[in-house]
């Protein structure tokens, strides 16, 4: 279990109805194949030893004995494997028959989980034979074969002895479909992953409903969910089964074996993330469902099923803030732009200002802020000429960004002003005794603060509101001038990371078309820079942000892992190597990871006094709602771990 990733699989092997010996052999083969891949949790379908569609054959002692013989064969095959296996079979206990899942590890049957709920429309083949696990009353013990006994209960949790925080709960088919699923209680008692041995027949539209059901269930219970459906070997007298299986994590589908594909469904579940989510979400801790009372008796079974294998299945997204499907990306971009625009429109309407005022540099962030402002004014029915866009070229302004700023303002039909700041800032240097040849912090920040003063004063003069342009990534790294571009009257980009800004601008370029699209694509091709230092001899941008603070794609990845996933330095670097290994060597990834922690902790004082800004995603740094962090917190713990990697 490398960095708390659990390698899980759902398999629906070839099956013959009422032939436990044959089915056991196929299950043994699947276990062997899983062991070679390093699978730690392997789930088979409901009644996979007998077949789900046996009908009245379930009442035959011969079949029941054959299933126990098959179970013994399967248990013996797991000897020496680091794996937890769930198989389904009928179990006779105290004059009743139970539909059970057997939990097996290292040659032993750990427990039998009895199904609780049955579909009432299927009385003719399930309630006709099986009793609910609720009928057990209390935990019982079943003699399997000579010297082998196993507890039987609907309430079973299997935990790993080396990683006791990893607990596996089990439910069977219809248990998931009822309003108060048994797995709600399992999760409240510590299960981080739920397995479901199912025999859900295939119907038109049912696959989509399974996805909806499991997505919601795993999301609200903050758990992993491994669902294994019965396959095509079942009898087709009145139904057909497809082997549709899927693995979910907190509402997200990690993998699926499509209907009739015959595939094994495999994925790596981030248990560490799930546990972090539970700690973070106080409503999860406070909510006690109808089945989640402390008085319920549980079978707690220790096992050793977790290995130290590398993750091989999980795709690590290098840009977690950005969706990757083209259509989804465009739709997501429009949704975010709508949120930004509606939030700004509400603030403008509430404050009764006439103008939105913002500085336009020709860079990505100010471009996005201007696009959002235009949308907001369109929503309000106000003319775009009431947006005052100000270009303030200074010592580092390049010809390309200056021209882009002018062309953009013209293309969008806003009121443009050009206020050069170099001479005013030079007079300011003289006033404070600063040597203009010293291009340090005062040289840079004086420009940013003067620009902010210009915008604020225009607002006073024109009854306006300064729209902030800074983004989430800059705020995380403190890459802004305190009381300069750090400050505004409403910050529309405050929860938009740099890697997403580019896609929002591109989406709006495609929507607008024409002259605006041409200008926006020119902005997108420009090097990211604050342009506070003079250009090089060729007039090109000399101050390149990513050379100073690291590539934004790395910083955004680190920010996401740190705040959204709750990961520490070791796990973050491990995942970064898998996401960026072909682009950056390990020492570069480590260098910028260390720098990220240092900057993030050192710059909290800036984040503790930021203006209002709209939240559009799951990560935000607002001190009022999303990040409570003292300005004087030490980064030593994180930096020390990162430097030792």
Contacts for 218 with CB less than 8 Å, ≥ 6 apart: 194, 224, 225, 248, 249, 250, 251
Per the residue annotation, which of 26, 115, 167, 590 is the catalytic one?
115
CA 51 to chain centre: 37
Burial of 617 (0-12, 13-18, 19+ CB in 10 A): middle
User: Any catalytic annotation for residue 115?
Assistant: yes
> What CA–CA distance (Å, rounded) separates 359 from 181?
55
H or E element that contains 367: helix 364-380
Compute the distance between CA of residue 272 and CA of residue 311 in angstroms, rounded to an integer: 14
- Per-position DSSP letters for 48-112, written without gaps between them: TTT-TT-GGGGG-HHHHHHHHHHHHHHHHHTTT---EEEEEEEEEETTEEEEEEEEEETTEEEEE
User: Could you tell me where the DSSP H helices lie in 315-363?
Assistant: 326-351
- Report residue 410 as tokens: 């013209």
Nearest-angstrom CA–CA distance, 595 and 555: 9
Considering only CA atoms, give the Rg of the chain: 30
Cβ(414)–Cβ(385) below 8 Å: yes
**For this structure, is 46 an active site residue?**
yes
User: Which tokens is 156 given?
Assistant: 């079973």
Answer yes or no: are the C-beta atoms of 158 and 167 closer than 8 Å. Answer: yes
Cα–Cα–Cα angle for 348, 352, 358, nearest 5°? 45
154-172 per-residue burial string, b: 16 or more CB within 10 A, e: under 16: bbbbbbbeeeeebbbbbbb
Cα 621–chain centre separation: 17
Cα separation, 21 vs 43, whole angstroms:
18
In sequence order, which residues have a C-beta less than 8 Å from that of residue 249 and are 6 or more positions away?
A: 218, 224, 225, 267, 269, 270, 273, 274
The 3-state DSSP class for residue 249 equals strand
For 131-137, which contacts have Cβ atoms below 8 Å and span 24 or more sequence positions? 131/96, 131/97, 131/98, 133/98, 135/96, 136/93, 136/98
What's the CA gap between 407 and 518, in Å, rounded?
10
**Which is the catalytic residue, given 54, 100, 170, 173?**
173
Tokens of 105: 């590890």
Distance from C-alpha of 610 to C-alpha of 622, rounded to nearest angstrom? 7
CA angle 632, 472, 485 (to 5 degrees): 80
- The residue among 490, 438, 497, 500 whose CA lies nearest residue 464 is 490
Residue 219 · residue 251 · CB < 8 Å: yes
DSSP string, 46-66: TTTTT-TT-GGGGG-HHHHHH
Catalytic residue among 40, 46, 277, 561: 46
16 is catalytic: no
Integer Cα distance of 14 and 232 in angstroms: 8
**Catalytic amino acids?**
46, 115, 173
């Amino acid at each position: 279990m490398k960095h708390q990733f659990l390698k899980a699989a759902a398999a629906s092997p070839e099956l013959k109805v009422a032939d436990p010996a044959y089915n056991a052999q196929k299950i043994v083969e699947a276990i062997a194949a899983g062991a070679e891949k390093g699978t730690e949790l392997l789930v088979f379908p409901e009644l996979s030893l007998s077949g789900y569609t046996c009908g009245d054959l379930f009442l035959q002692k011969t079949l029941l004995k054959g299933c126990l013989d098959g179970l013994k064969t399967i248990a013996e095959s797991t000897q020496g494997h680091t794996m937890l296996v769930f198989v389904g079979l009928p179990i006779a206990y105290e004059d009743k028959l139970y539909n059970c899942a057997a939990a097996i590890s290292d040659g032993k049957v750990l427990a039998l989980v009895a199904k609780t709920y049955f579909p009432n429309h299927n009385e003719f083949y399930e309630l006709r034979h099986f009793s609910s696990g609720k009928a057990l009353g209390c935990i019982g013990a079943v003699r399997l074969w000579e010297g082998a006994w196993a507890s039987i209960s609907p309430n079973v949790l299997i935990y790993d002895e080396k990683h006791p925080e990893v607990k596996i709960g089990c439910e069977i088919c219809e248990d998931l479909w009822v309003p108060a699923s048994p797995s709600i209680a399992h999760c409240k008692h510590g299960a981080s992953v739920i397995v479901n041995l199912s025999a859900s027949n295939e119907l038109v539209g049912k696959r989509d409903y399974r996805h909806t059901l499991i997505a919601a269930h795993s999301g609200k219970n903050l758990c992993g969910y491994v669902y294994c459906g019965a396959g095509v070997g079942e009898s087709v007298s009145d139904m057909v089964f497809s082997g549709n299986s899927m693995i979910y994590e907190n509402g997200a589908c990690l993998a699926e074996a499509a209907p009739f594909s015959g595939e094994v469904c495999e994925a790596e579940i981030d248990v560490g993330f799930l546990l972090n989510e539970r700690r973070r979400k106080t409503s999860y801790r406070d909510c006690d469902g109808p089945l989640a009372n402390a008085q319920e008796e549980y079978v707690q079974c220790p096992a050793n099923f977790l290995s130290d294998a590398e993750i091989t299945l999980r795709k690590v997204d290098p840009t977690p803030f950005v969706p990757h499907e083209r259509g989804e990306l465009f739709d997501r971009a429009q949704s975010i732009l709508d949120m930004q625009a509606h939030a700004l429109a509400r603030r403008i309407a509430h404050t009764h200002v006439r103008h939105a005022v913002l500085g336009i540099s020709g860079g990505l962030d100010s471009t996005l802020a201007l696009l959002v402002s235009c949308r907001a004014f369109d929503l309000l029915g106000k003319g775009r000429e009431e947006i005052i866009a100000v270009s303030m070229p200074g010592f580092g302004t390049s010809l390309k960004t200056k021209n882009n700023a002018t062309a953009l303002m013209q293309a969008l039909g806003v009121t443009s002003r050009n206020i050069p700041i170099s001479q005013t800032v030079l007079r300011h240097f003289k006033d404070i005794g600063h040597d203009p040849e010293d291009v340090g912090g005062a040289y840079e920040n004086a420009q940013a603060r003067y620009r902010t003063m210009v915008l604020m004063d225009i607002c006073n003069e024109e009854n306006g509101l300064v729209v902030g342009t800074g983004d989430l990534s800059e705020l995380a790294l403190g890459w802004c001038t305190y009381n300069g571009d750090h400050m505004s009257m409403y910050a529309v980009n405050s929860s938009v990371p740099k890697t997403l800004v580019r896609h929002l601008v591109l989406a709006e370029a495609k929507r607008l078309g024409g002259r605006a699209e041409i200008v926006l694509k020119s902005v997108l091709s420009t090097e990211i820079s604050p342009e506070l230092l003079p250009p090089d001899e060729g007039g090109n941008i000399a101050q390149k942000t990513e050379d100073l603070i690291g590539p934004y794609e790395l910083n955004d990845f680190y920010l996401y892992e740190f705040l959204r996933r709750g990961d520490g330095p070791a796990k973050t670097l491990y995942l970064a190597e898998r996401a960026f290994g072909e682009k950056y060597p390990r020492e570069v990834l480590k260098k910028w990871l260390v720098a990220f922690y240092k900057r993030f902790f050192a710059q909290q004082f800036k984040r503790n006094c930021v203006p209002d800004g709209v939240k559009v995603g799951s990560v935000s740094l607002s001190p009022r709602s999303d990040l409570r962090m003292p300005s004087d917190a030490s980064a030593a713990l994180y930096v020390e771990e990162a430097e030792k990697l």
